[in-house]
Amino acid sequence: MHIAVIGLGYIGLPTAAIFARAGAQVTGIDNSPRIVDALNRGEILIEENGLAEIVREMVLGGRLTASLKPVPADAFIIAVPTPITEDKKADMSYVVSATESILPCLKKGDLVVLESTSPVGTVDNLMLPILERSGLDPKTDLFIGHSPERVIPGRILDELVNNDRIAGGLTPEAASKIAELYRLFVKGNILETDSRTAELCKLAENTYRDVNIAFANELAMICESQGVNVWEAISLCNRHPRVNIHQPGPGVGGHCIAVDPWFIVEKEPGLARIIALSRKTNDAMPMRAAGEINRLLSGIANPVVTILGITYKPDVDDLRESPIIHLIKLLKARDIKIKICDPHVANRCVTCEGAALTADPVEAAAGSDLLVLGVNHSAFCDLDPVTLGEVMRHRQVYDTRSFLPLKAFAEAGFKTALLGAPEKL
């Protein structure tokens, strides 16, 4: 079986590697010469647990190669970005160009599977008319559909194999062919349905999480006002057998949860009211954090803030839609000097948004008036409050994730603040 994976990003690359490991001959296609050249050398440019090793092995074994242009294959998997435009609409241009790019390669019996998260109707309203231009009948000559990825960055390789997977076909035959394709490596259940249902499910899963986080963030604001610690309250609520409230924080980032709900709102603006409000609630969190930081800095001339962690979530190197980047922009607009520590980003950037970036927390804390824990990277588990306090101008810390040992910081002379908790902890 020859599989072509179009788009070698956070999803396409691991998928290509896992198909190769399962015995398929895989060609990864990407329009970035940097990515293609690196892959053909057996190297990767992104950080994901265990991925570099598998890719190297598959490339050396000749089962995985990369190309700038599509090649004939038995199955085409489209895993290109579906970003969001300024006015919160899905930008489908990469899906359109990827679908057009495979037209010269298609033959009767081929599978075309969209993996990219897309608005409902993408397979039947957007891809089908393009695929018809191949001269083949997409309903009878091809097997087309949507099989959304559901993997969590950081655990992609494990979740690709072990999660249940939806196989949505334009026709029932297409659904079963797609299920058969993924059976090559998926150990979880493969659930067959139509392509529109598959598209909706993917959006609904991420929207469920976004709405739940918005609820947690709203509770955090309520708790601050009511003098209650939201982290303790949520952990107690979650001891109820049917309650699972997510964690509040400085906002929701990433290319999925912060984006996908808008794809539902785009289609149904009049109906998707809770969904749109939740998005706005989560998007307002960096502004709330900036307000608290301002309060902590009041009276300090030429303030300097050290941000610990800028990625969109812990232990990844991905900055897309990171709420902490948004927070940094808000602080810079208020003339606050920023220093950054992020061990996952410091290996490839020396600055971010014009601020110095280092992997060393002590270097980042030198001369600072406030430490802000933006992302709970495991590397921040063993921060030493005494050493940090010694190099700072003012000993203050603001934890937006309830991650730091604030008691130990207080004992080291720090004034402490926690998102979602009363001023006096």
**Residues recognised as catalytic:** 202, 256
118 binds ligand SAJ (CB under 6 A): no
**What is the nearest approach in angstroms of ligand SAJ to the Cβ of residue 255?**
7
Nearest partner of 115 among 8, 1, 42, 189, judged by Cα: 8
**Per this entry, what is the length of the chain?**
425
81 binds ligand SAJ (CB under 6 A): no
381 CB-near residues (< 8 Å, 6+ apart): none
377 binds ligand SAJ (CB under 6 A): no
Q: Is 336 left (phi over 0), alpha (psi -120 to 50) or beta?
A: beta
167 binds ligand SAJ (CB under 6 A): no
Quote the CA–CA distance of 92 and 184 in Å, as a whole number.
29
**What is the nearest approach in angstroms of ligand SAJ to the Cβ of residue 412?**
27
Pick between residue 221 and residue 412 the one whose CB is nearest to ligand SAJ. Answer: 221
44 CB-near residues (< 8 Å, 6+ apart): 13, 38, 51, 52, 55
153 binds ligand SAJ (CB under 6 A): yes
Q: Which stretch binds ligand SAJ (CB under 6 A): 27-35, 48-56, 203-211, 382-390?
A: 203-211
253 binds ligand SAJ (CB under 6 A): yes
Quote the CA–CA distance of 48 and 207 in Å, as a whole number.
24
Instruction: Please select the residue that binds ligand SAJ; options are 151, 160, 170, 372, rule is CB under 6 A.
Output: 151
Token digits for 108? 């009767």
Three-state SS string over 49-96 comes to CCHHHHHHHHHHCCCEEEECCCCCCCEEEECCCCCECCCCCECCHHHH
20 binds ligand SAJ (CB under 6 A): no
Instruction: Please select the residue that binds ligand SAJ; options are 254, 343, 374, 385, rule is CB under 6 A.
Output: 254
Instruction: Please select the residue that binds ligand SAJ; options are 21, 146, 313, 377, rule is CB under 6 A.
Output: 313
309 binds ligand SAJ (CB under 6 A): no
Pick between residue 110 and residue 224 the one whose CB is nearest to ligand SAJ. Answer: 224
DSSP class of 17 = H
Residues that bind ligand SAJ (CB under 6 A): 117, 149-153, 205-206, 209, 213, 246-247, 249, 252-254, 256-257, 312-313
